[in-house]
Chain A
Amino acid sequence: MRLFIAASPHSRNPQDVSSIMLNVILALVPTSLLGVFFFGIPALSVIITSILSALAFEVGVNTLRHQKLTIFDGSAALTGLLLALTLPPVIPLWMVVLGNGFSIVIVKHLFGGLGHNLFNPALSGRLFLSVTYPVAMSSWSKPSALLDPIYISSATPFAKESTLIVSHWQLFWGGVGGSIGETSAFAILLGAIWLFKKGILDWKIPGSFLSTVFLLALLGGQDPVLHLLAGGTLLGAFFMMTDYVTSPLTKMGRLLYGFLLGVLVMSVRFFSQMPGGLAFCIVLMNGMVPLLDKAGITLHLHVYPLIFKEIQEK
């Protein structure tokens, strides 16, 4: 028997970084499964390639930086999975590997690794690919073309030439053209509910973002439900914006972040027709996070005292 001394508290919440990452990966399983169901084997191979290459790059960087292996905290696998879900199912696999290389090596580790990256690695990887290979990144395969991908440009509901008329119901259950992870709102919501129950997802960012999008669509005279369900809005709201490292720290900062993102996304959707606009908006706002943190701290210091009766100080 040995007696140890340490500072209080003496017990810890069993949920640590790796279990959080694992839970987020679990929450993405329904989305990935539906993606594979609708887009077939190509989607599966994109997902597997993406996760494996992300892990490989992580090991490589760890070796170069003389670090302990960090693949077991799950963050690299999560980045790989998230990147795969934002890609079109018929993309060449070497591009997937390249995108992961950009995500892990440049965006994550050159900024200092998990906890220090300014931009969301998965989304930055996706943007890198869509800037470098715009054609491959916008050749969407027709969904439910199981095992037989046909290169028909059946664009996402927001693309300009889209003559596609999709019902809300189809958007909700899935089966619309787009990237692997954004077909089914239902699967994303399922994952989001799981994360809420586990206390990992905070309602503030998705809440303020989605309500802003809804209200602005209503004001702009467009279909608000379409704006919520289509174009990866939900995947972005629940899994991309809420990435801990690249979102503001304080409660007030998070509310502000969601609101500003809503305004940004809707102005892109109203005034330009850029595909993948959401990803650009999120990465742009990631750059604003240090500023929002400062604002959030000031707000936290001055707004909370108003809620409770302030004691006159002598």
Chain B
Amino acid sequence: MNNHKKITGLLPTREAPAPHELIFPLLQHTGRPAQPIVNVGDLVKVGQRIAEATGSISANIHSSVSGLVTAIEPAPYSSGVDMMSIRIENDHKYFKVPMATHTRPIKETPKEFLLKRIEEAGIVGLGGEMIPTHIKLRPPKPITELVINGAECEPYLSADHRVMVEMTKAVFIGIEVAMCILEPQTVMIGIEDHMIDAMITMRNYALKYKNVKVIHLPTLYPQGAERVLVRELTQKRIRQLPIEANVVVLNVSTCAAIGQAILNGMPLISRVITLSGSQLEKSYNYRVRLGTPIKTLLPELSPDRAHKLGDLRVLMGGPMMGIAQYSLEVPIIKGTTGVLVLEHTNYEPQKCIRCGRCIDHCPVFVMPIIAAEQGIQASECMECGLCSYHCPSRIPLVEKIRLKKIEQQMCTINP
């Protein structure tokens, strides 16, 4: 599999153009949607909290610009259905709310203070899974290993790569905070071996810490999937969540966000994404304000220039697990790792020729064609997409397994 990383991996991160109107969906995390605490007509500042966590699993949302709240209404959302969102008109002045900096050494800071800061900053897993980080950092049982995910295995994407090179200090502050809270015995940072510069920078920085190991992993999709990464680094097999094996996994971008939240008191209002794909002339890594609609980032797709382009798939995330978008109004949210513009190809499924490639390639030892037909092990599938990718008969295996999963969930709820 060509990983297409050379396009963007070595380019420095750029600042993305600021849009005139931003959209903040109330669900940018796993759990319950946040509750808006601003009204239409309010003036907000950069870093101001605009929606508050509700229920046990939820996260705060902050404005990434200063300006006027114009509407609170359903708006396009990356999952494919409209989501209640706060629209904010940018006044391009960027007034900031005061942010509390932190100068005390992290080891001497009480755990609860650190956790509260992370919770207030609205940090969620930036690798795409979007679990609120403060939930992850309050595990129900003691932790033996902390795994830092720098594998970034999806083709095209190189945002984590650039974060490791350019924001090494913030990443390590984040790791230190997580170490302080979780008190693991060892910390392992897994990095795929194509990111040589990231590896060198991270190794040099890790020398300052005891118990922190930087481990290089072969470049192989899906190396960065939680379960595969934990298995590679700790030889423990997990079925659903790493906590089963006393492991917590954090993404490097999440660590950088934690570092910034603790050091500068900055809530999560921007992130690095990769803008790439075969149909774009130029590819970049961008630091984007959350809430930026993707049309701002893709001037090539604006109505006056798009007539040259054929059928496209605009993806949020990588080509293996990303979601194809139905509108260019969709905003960047906390879990967006990249925006890709690829050619649309229609694949005609044929009969299974029983080649067994799906079984040979499955990283978690599911038998995809059996799972798709009979539902055996369907719940263990993590939908990495390798089986569909390799299927010579072009059977949409992942789609079929998803249906089986839903079927099984319905059966357990309503027997």
Q: Interface residues, chain A, CB within 8 Å of chain B?
A: 1-13, 15-17, 19-20, 73, 113-116, 202, 244-245, 247-251, 254, 297, 300-301, 304-305, 308-311, 313
Give the complex CA separation of A73 and B237 in angstroms.
Answer: 40
Beyond A5-B313, A8-B319, A12-B394: 15 further Cβ-contacts under 8 Å? A3-B312, A3-B324, A4-B311, A9-B321, A9-B398, A10-B315, A10-B342, A11-B319, A11-B342, A308-B231, A308-B236, A309-B237, A311-B244, A311-B245, A313-B239
CB–CB B353/A17 < 8 A: yes
| Structural contact, A8 and B385, CB atoms closer than 8 A | yes
Tell whether, in the assembled complex, residue B314 and residue A8 are in contact, meaning their CB atoms are under 8 Å apart: no
Interface contact B351-A20, CB-CB below 8 Å: no
Contact B237 A305 (CB under 8 A): yes
Q: List 14 A-B contacts (CB under 8 A).
A: A1-B309, A2-B311, A3-B314, A5-B324, A7-B396, A8-B321, A11-B389, A115-B351, A250-B356, A250-B359, A304-B365, A308-B236, A311-B239, A311-B244
> Once bound together, how far apart are the Cα atoms of A308 and B245, in whole Å?
12
Chain B residues at the A interface, C-beta cutoff of 8 Å: 1, 80, 155, 231, 235-239, 244-245, 301, 306-307, 309-315, 319-328, 340, 342, 344-345, 347, 350-356, 359-360, 365, 367, 369-370, 376-377, 383, 385-386, 388-394, 396, 398-399, 402
The chain B residue sitting closest to A308, CB to CB, is B237
Complex Cα distance, B356 from A193, in Å, reads 19
B351 touches A113 (CB 8 A): yes
List residues of chain B with CB within 8 A of the CB of A297.
Answer: 367, 370, 376
Q: In the complex the two chains form, is A3's CB within 8 Å of B326's CB?
A: yes
- Give the distance in Å from the alpha carbon of A104 to the alpha carbon of B318 in the complex: 43
CB distance from B165 to the nearest CB of A (A): 26
In the complex with contacts A3-B313, A16-B394, A308-B236, A9-B320 CB distance below 8 A: yes
The one of B231, B324, B365, B369 in contact with A4, judged by C-beta atoms closer than 8 angstroms, is B324
Counting from the closest, the 7 A-B pairs by CB-CB distance are: A9-B385, A115-B351, A308-B237, A1-B306, A4-B344, A5-B324, A244-B355
What A residues does B359 contact at CB under 8 A? 249-251, 300
A150–B89 Cα distance when bound, in Å, is 92
B340 contacts across to A, CB distance below 8 A: 10
Q: Nearest residue in A to B320 (C-beta to C-beta)?
A: A9
Give the distance to chain A from B354, nearest Cβ to Cβ, in Å: 5
* Residues of chain B with a CB closer than 8 A to A73's CB: 350
Taken together as a complex, chains A and B put the C-alpha atoms of A301 and B388 apart, in Å, by 21
> How many angstroms between the C-alpha atoms of A155 and B3 in the bound complex?
54
State whether A244 touches B376 (Cβ < 8 A). Answer: no
State which of A3, A10, A16, A251 has its C-beta within 8 Å of the C-beta of B319: A10
Tell me how far the C-beta of A101 lies from the nearest C-beta in chain B, rounded to whole angstroms.
22
**Given A1-B307, A7-B398, A114-B353, A17–B239 Cβ distance below 8 Å?**
no
Residues B324 and A6 in contact, CB atoms below 8 Å apart: yes
A13 to B368, CA, bound (A): 16
Partner of A5, one of B80, B237, B342, B398: B80
Contact between A9 and B399, CB atoms less than 8 A apart: no
CA distance A17 to B352 in the complex (A): 10
